[in-house]
């Protein structure tokens, strides 16, 4: 069976950026790729590339896992697991570092941005993050990897590494292809709409969390930064705030941006923002309800245990073959 792989870092409570750029897309993909098996994981090894409070991290791992399920993923063709519970991810990351050039890692935009933000030392874990991500994908021979816009460069590097290994040792890794959502691949900050909405943005008003109360959601959208010309049109360069709200509404309602512009072009910003707030509130309400049932049940741990076993089965086999392929250890009969 073919595989689709993706992960989310437990670096903070999930917001609508991650939801629209990634989880909502998985739900749709489960429908359109019923013949594929989905390996989705909570990328806790990625999260520690930047110092974290350990208790906060543990709490967020569980919250992200529960939110994955609360957002409507079907369990049939899904293995949901915690990355650090499958040791082959760390092992593969090291092996792939031996097939990756420093220059390639230095070119990664996300590394450059995150390193710039770091006030204390930049860890080598942050630098080699892309090889961990490459391992996450190549371990499962993923055919497709659903990613937001910001992860495209890392996936490109994963492909280069896979091709390099294949050229040297014969076809060994499946070269993965990205699946990028048409709308929602880059949801922007509500306070600085030229920047991506991010879990770790220090400005809490920049985002809407999936678990935010209704009145907070409404307040955040009503106070979202826009412009003063009063025209509702999609123009990310000159009108990033309004374009971002149109994108959010389009991704939630599955209505094209052109259609939304036609519907709202003769209204004012207040009316338009109220409509955006209504649709975000309606989208998140059932997720919050399901979340509170799941987080307080034994269902989550049982499903994560099953996911861990599934993932270990596939990943251990692949790493053993890879060790052998590149000449490590003793020759097995
Ligand atoms: N704002 C966004 N718009 C669209 N897609 C997004 N994704 C994240 N933010 C947006 C997509 O969600 C998936 C999981 O992301 P991640 O948590 O692994 O890493 P990230 O992209 O680094 O997310 P953050 O929120 O910016 O985390 P921090 O602040 O910790 O770095 C990915 O497919 C991502 O593209």
User: Any catalytic annotation for residue 196?
Assistant: yes
pLDDT at 148: 77
Integer Cα distance of 191 and 204 in angstroms: 9
Secondary structure (DSSP) of 51-78: ---HHHHHHHHHHHHHHHHHTT--STTE
Q: Can you tell me whether residue 234 is helix, strand or coil?
A: coil
Q: Where in the chain is the domain with CATH 3.40.50.620?
A: 2-180+298-326
pLDDT for position 172: 97
Give the contacts of 93 (CB within 8 A, at least 6 positions apart). 45, 128, 131, 132, 134, 135
Interval 296-329: pLDDT, tens: 889 999 999 999 999 999 999 999 999 999 999 9
Mean pLDDT of the chain: 94
Quick one: fold of 204-293? Answer: Tyrosyl-Transfer RNA Synthetase (1.10.240)
Q: Please list the helix, strand and coil fractions of the chain in percent, rounded to the nearest 5, in that order.
A: 55, 10, 35
Distances from the Cα of 273 to the Cα of 7, 88, 264, angstroms = 31, 47, 10
| CA dist., res. 124 & res. 321, Å (int) | 27
pLDDT of residue 293: 95
Residues of the chain with CATH 1.10.240.10: 204-293
Q: Are strands 78-82 and 36-42 parallel, antiparallel or unpaired?
A: parallel
Catalytic-residue membership of 114: yes
Can you tell me whether residue 84 is helix, strand or coil? helix
Nearest by Cα to 81 from 314, 326, 332: 314
> How many whole angstroms separate alpha carbon 106 and alpha carbon 23?
29
Q: Which residues' Cβ are closer than 6 Å to ligand 1?
A: 8-9, 11, 17-18, 21-22, 43, 147-148, 150-151, 184-187, 196-200
Q: In CATH, which of 1.10.287.130, 3.40.50.2300, 3.10.20.30, 3.40.50.620 is domain 2-180+298-326?
A: 3.40.50.620
Choosing from 62, 114, 219, 308, which is the catalytic residue?
114
Return the pLDDT at 119. 64
User: Above 70 in pLDDT, residue 84?
Assistant: yes
236-275 pLDDT per residue, tens: 999 999 999 999 999 999 999 999 999 999 999 999 999 9
Q: What is the pLDDT of residues 186-204, one digit of tens each?
A: 999 999 999 999 998 889 9
Which of these, 234, 293, 287, 219, lies nearest to 265 by C-alpha position? 234
The Cα–Cα gap between 120 and 122 comes to 7
Distance between CA atoms of residues 300 and 295, nearest Å: 7
């Amino acid at each position: 069976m073919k595989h689709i792989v993706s992960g989310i870092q437990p670096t903070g409570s999930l917001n609508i950026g991650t939801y629209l750029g990634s989880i909502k897309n998985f739900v749709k993909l489960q429908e359109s790729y019923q013949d594929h098996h989905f390996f989705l994981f909570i990328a806790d090894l990625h999260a520690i590339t930047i110092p974290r409070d350990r208790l906060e991290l543990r709490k967020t791992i569980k919250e992200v896992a529960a939110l994955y399920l609360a957002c409507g993923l079907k369990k049939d063709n899904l293995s949901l697991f915690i990355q650090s519970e499958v040791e082959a991810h760390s092992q593969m990351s090291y092996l792939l570092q031996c097939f990756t050039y420093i220059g390639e890692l230095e070119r990664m935009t996300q590394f450059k941005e995150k390193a710039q933000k770091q006030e204390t030392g930049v860890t080598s874990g942050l630098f080699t993050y892309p090889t961990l991500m490459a391992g996450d994908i190549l371990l499962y021979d993923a055919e497709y990897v659903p990613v937001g816009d910001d992860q495209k460069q890392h996936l490109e590097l994963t492909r280069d590494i896979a091709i390099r290994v294949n050229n040297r040792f014969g076809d060994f890794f499946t070269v993965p292809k990205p699946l990028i959502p048409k709308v929602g691949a880059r949801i922007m900050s509500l306070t600085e709409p030229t920047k991506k909405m991010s879990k770790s943005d220090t400005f809490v008003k920049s985002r809407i969390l999936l678990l935010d109360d209704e009145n907070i959601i409404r307040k955040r959208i009503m106070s979202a930064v826009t412009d003063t010309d009063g025209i509702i049109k999609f123009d990310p360069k000159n009108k990033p705030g309004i374009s971002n709200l149109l994108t959010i509404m389009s991704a939630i309602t599955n209505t094209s941006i052109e259609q939304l512009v036609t519907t709202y072009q003769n209204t004012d910003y207040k009316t338009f923002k109220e409509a955006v707030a209504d649709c975000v509130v309606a989208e998140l309400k059932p997720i919050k309800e399901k979340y509170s049932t799941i987080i307080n049940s034994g269902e989550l741990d049982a499903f994560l245990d099953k996911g861990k076993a599934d993932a270990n089965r596939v990943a251990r086999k692949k790493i053993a073959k890879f060790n052998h392929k590149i000449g490590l250890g003793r020759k097995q009969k």
